[in-house]
Structure 1
Amino acid sequence: MPKTYDELMQKLDDLGINVSTIRHAPVFTVAEAQDLRGQVPGAHTKNLFLKDKKDNFFLVTVGEEAQVDLKTIHTKIGAASRVSFGKPEKLLEYLGLVPGSVSVLGVINDDEHQVKLVLDEDLMRNDIINAHPLSNDATTSIGRDDLLRFLKATGHEPLILKIDETNPT
């Protein structure tokens, strides 16, 4: 059974991580989120739940304005082949999330470590990162270092890679 918002908040509290959460109407796209959020400081995210032909799953979290080349990302993230979007059933099974609610915080539900987590290095230059707290009707702001501590506590050591193609280096 996927963890609830309250269980996520309890886990963060148990780790001594302070977050702030605002409630809003459900959003399903970055554009909808931009229209609703007002002035929430920090970086806002978009998330890609991907799979390769060997059924390896990846959660790629980037800044909301990032451009991701799905034709070449497999070479960066260590996929066995080109990637496609993972099916909603696997998203629910592994991360306890439904489409539109995909979030880096969903790794709290990946007890068996079925999903490799990839964070964009440009995103990780921000002090505050905003993500859905397991549903798309709220946004939680968490400090970058606290996010990394949370991820480690869930057993997920993220790969931090240059994913955003907006300003390739």
Structure 2
Amino acid sequence: MGKTIDELMQYLTELGIKVSTIHHPAVFTVAEAQDLRGQVSGAHTKNLFLKDKKDHYFLVTVDEEAEVDLKTIHTKIGAASRVSFGKPEKLLDFLGLTPGAVSVFGAINDTQHQVKVVIDADLLENDIVNAHPLTNEATTSIGRDDLLKFLKATGHEPLILKIDGSTPN
């Protein structure tokens, strides 16, 4: 089983990273999260747990409004083939997450580095990024640079690419 929200917060504190977290009823979709959010500043994320035919796994994090073309994303992220959604069992095994709680913070649980973290470059234009802290019953706001610091500390050098298909490259 993966780390708890308290263990994640302790890890962030040990890294010298300050975050703010709000708790809310469980949400399973971007639309549900938007309804509950209130006035939380910064970018809000959408996360996709993907796999290719060679069982390479990817965690793709984009702005909640981003359009991701699943038919072509494999050409951008270095997948061996077109991708599909990873099974919930692998999501739990690798990132310690369940569907609805998929988040970049899951990297803390991928100690074997079995998942490549991909972040949309447009998302990183925001000073603050919001994501679920290992549970879909909370949202954590973290500074962009601190998010990258966190990922590097977990051994995940993120691949930063233009993923959003809704704007020209």
| Residue in 2 that maps onto 1:95 | 95
Percent sequence identity over aligned pairs: 79
Displacement of 1:60 in angstroms is: 0.2
1:3-152 equivalences in 2 (<5 Å): 3-152=3-152
Structure 1 counterpart of 2:166, which letter?
Answer: T
- Cα shift readout 1:95-150 (whole Å, capped 9, x = no counterpart): 00000000000000000000000000000100000000000000000000000000
Q: Deviations over 1:25-71 (max 9, x none)?
A: 10000000000000100000000000000000000000000000000
- Aligned mates of 2:154, 2:16 — CA distance in 1: 14
- Secondary structure in 1 aligned to 2:105? helix
* Residue type of the alignment partner of 1:116: K
Q: What is the TM-score normalised by the length of structure 1?
A: 0.99
1:168 to partner: Cα distance: 2.0
Structure 1 CA distance, aligned partners of 2:158 and 2:136?
23
In the alignment, the residues of structure 2 paired with residue 120 and residue 2 of structure 1 have an alpha-carbon distance, to the nearest angstrom, of 25
Aligned to 2:62, what secondary structure does the other structure show? strand
Give the 3-state SS of the residue equivalent to 1:26 in structure 2. coil
SS in 2 for 1:97: coil
Alignment RMSD (CA, Å): 0.4
Amino acid at match of 1:50: L
Asked if 1:164 is matched to 2:164, the reply is: yes
Give TM-score, length-normalised by structure 2.
Answer: 0.99
Q: How many residues align?
A: 169
Task: Provide the rounded CA distance (Å) in 2 between the counterparts of 1:117 and 1:9.
Answer: 20
Runs of 4+ in 1 over 6 A off after TM superposition: none
